[in-house]
Amino acid sequence: MKIILKEFPYDTQVVSKKFFDEHLKLYKGYVENTNKIADELMKDPRYAEANSSWSHFRGLKNGQAFCMDGVILHELYFQNMGGGKQEPGPRMMKLIRDYFGSYENWTADMTACGKAARGWAVLCYEQRSRRLTNIVQDAHDVGVLWTAYPLLAMDMYEHAYYGDYGTDKGKYIENFLNGVKWDVVEARAGKLQLE
């Protein structure tokens, strides 16, 4: 099944339209490459040559995880990046207070994750431990918790902010967190099966 490119209208004050549009081109590339890899795996995976140091199959499988995670994370990011001040909805606010003590504690933790991340800072519900947590991913496929359900994704690759903020990563994080579309995050949280 082909991955379909989603449309994301410019609806944010976090980054300029110019860099938003440039960022969408990267997302489009991940969609295209995910589909190319899937096609290649269907027609010529070269199973017999597979090995752990280098092989055509190993390259395809590594690329598959990296590109597909790139698709997923960018879709989450573009959906939850907004432009106006919103407060977390009731379910998210309860989860944040239950696991971080306060919204301010969560913001401090997420800000630190953003500053520490080379790739992504992601708020997720880790289903095994039944905890809300922020995680740091240095690449699309590095730092992923297998049973984590992502609720909010913040792209921390330099391409996400450098054109508008230069080296002021902290200002980008502040503006991003002030512009989260909490209604989108609340809807994601509504899909969680909590005890």
How far, in Å, CA of 111 to CA of 156, rounded? 11
Task: Give 119-136 pLDDT, tens digit per residue.
Answer: 999 999 999 999 999 999
Prediction pTM value: 0.94
SS3 at position 29: helix
- In tens, the pLDDT along 29-87 reads 999 999 999 999 999 899 999 999 999 999 999 999 999 999 999 999 999 998 778 89
Residue extents of the structural domains in the chain: 17-80, 90-189
Sign of CA dihedral 59, 64, 67, 70: negative
Which two structure tokens, joined as six digits, stand for 97?
């207070």
CB 132 within 8 A of CB 100: yes
Contact 117, 138 (CB under 8 A): yes
Which CATH architecture fits 90-189? 3-Layer(bab) Sandwich (3.55)
